[in-house]
Amino acid sequence: MNTHPTLFRLSWITLSAIGAATLAFGLITLIAPPSGDRGLWRADSLATIGTGLFGLLISLFAFRARQPWAWWALWFYPAFWLTHFLANLPPAKDHIHQILFLVLSLAALCVSIPQTDRYPRL
């Protein structure tokens, strides 16, 4: 039995939105970095752009096509946001987006737990 189509659709849309938001944040900080070490912000911005693009493309193509590896690969989102929150990483002054993206990514992955033989069962 497959995951309910509506829940699966919400899952890939949610994960795609997280990727797009992460990509957008990286682009914004690359164009208009906050005060401080510009080189560090440029490096962080490029890493954030890569992370967002990575997740967005996996969500839109492989996860949406129900590729087994994509479901597992997208667990980097909860790990990424939990690490950012616990380590007080930038932008550390506002934890709301970190908690929101952590909860949304966990929810999206949990409601899309594969129920076919194409995916490992949990």
Delimit the domains of the chain by residue range: 5-111
Read off the pLDDT band of 121 (50, 70, 90).
low
pTM greater than the 0.85 cutoff: yes
Residue 98 has pLDDT above 50, yes or no: yes
Q: Which amino acid is at 115?
A: Q
CA of residue 36 relative to chain centroid, distance: 26
Contact 11, 111 (CB under 8 A): yes
Question: How much is the average pLDDT of 31-38?
Answer: 85
89 compared with 40, residue with greater pLDDT:
40
pLDDT at 1 (0 to 100): 39
How many H-runs (helices) and E-runs (strands) does the chain carry? Answer: 5, 0
Residue 17 has pLDDT above 90, yes or no: yes
